[in-house]
Amino acid sequence: MNIVLLGSPGAGKGTQAKLLARHRGVAHIATGDLFRANARDGTELGKLAETYMDRGDLVPDEVTIRMLLKRLEEPDTENGAVFDGFPRNLAQARALDEALANHGMGVDCVVLIEVSDEEAVARLSTRWICRNCGAIYHRDPGTAIEGERCENCGGELYQREDDRPEVVRSRLDSQKPPLDMLDYYRQQGKLQTVNGQQDTEAVTAVLLSALDDKHGN
């Protein structure tokens, strides 16, 4: 099963994608994570991606799609995947359909997680992430975090460079799911929406029931 999660930065795609992938036994593919891993490893791709990520801009389609196609060749994707942060525009959506068709698959379900800009800004500007396991914590400005470690694994907590308020604004401007992409999925009868301003468990429950409806199980 291939599931696409759409939503503004801060909508909760990453959190939900991890849970759904585990629940469904499919891969979790997050293009942002792939770019960050490349940047950490200092690859050419990573260096290029960083120049866009630092400004809150999208990395060009050609580079992003090539990276995604390579990721789809890995064996853990054979039962499908939850796509988190890809596609971000119509060209990417079409490229995903084509790539999955080459593997005898297609997109089964697309869910748009909706949150207001205010909520997204509030979440991203207070977000701390575990370097080791990716767990997410929220701390209001001024609330001590120095030295605090991850509750799950003891890993170090950090704030993403692009979660700085000035970059967050530009990400929200340039990275909302565009209408032509939403129409593309709507016309295929695949698009569902969920209110992302509920707690994590409530959003997960709605997502799981949306998937069950699709598969009738």
> Which positions are annotated as active-site residues?
13, 88, 127, 160, 171
Beta strand 27-30 with 157-158 is unpaired
Q: Of 13, 41, 9, 29, give the one whose Cα is nearest residue 164.
A: 9
Q: Does residue 28 interact with ligand AMP by CB under 6 A?
A: no
Residue 93 backbone dihedrals phi, psi, to 5 degrees:
-65, -40
Among 7, 12, 56, 177, binds ligand AMP (CB under 6 A): 56
114, exposed or middle or buried, with CB in 10 Å at 0-12, 13-18, 19+? Answer: middle
Q: How far is the CB of 85 from ligand AMP (least distance, A)?
A: 3
DSSP string across 51-88: HHHTTTPPPPHHHHHHHHHHHHTSGGGTT-EEEES---
| The one segment of 48-56, 134-142, 143-151, 178-186 that binds ligand AMP by CB under 6 A | 48-56
Q: How many CB atoms lie within 10 A of CB 172?
A: 17
The residue among 12 and 212 lying less far from ligand AMP, judged by its C-beta, is 12
Q: How many residues bind ligand AMP (CB under 6 A)?
A: 17
Please pick, from the candidates 31, 38, 192, 204, the single residue that binds ligand AMP as defined by CB under 6 A: 31
| Closest distance to ligand AMP from the beta carbon of 37 (Å) | 11
Among 58, 69, 208, 210, binds ligand AMP (CB under 6 A): 58
In angstroms, what is the minimal distance from the CB of 166 to ligand AMP? 13
Binding mask 177-206 for ligand AMP (x = CB under 6 A): ------------------------------
State the nearest-atom distance from the C-beta of 171 to ligand AMP, in Å.
5
Nearer to ligand AMP, 22 or 66 (CB): 66
Place of tokens 């939503």: 7
Rounded to whole angstroms, the Cα distance separating 212 from 210 reads: 5
The answer to whether 135 and 151 are in contact (CB under 8 A) is yes
If one asks whether residue 163 binds ligand AMP (CB under 6 A), the answer comes out as no
Residue from 2, 16, 38, 64 touching ligand AMP (CB under 6 A): that is 64
- Burial of 87 (C-beta count, 10 Å sphere; 0-12/13-18/19+): buried
Phi, psi for 75 (deg, rounded to 5): -65, -25
86 binds ligand AMP (CB under 6 A): yes
Give the footprint of ligand AMP on this chain (CB under 6 A): 9, 31-32, 35, 52-53, 56-59, 64, 85-86, 88, 92, 162, 171
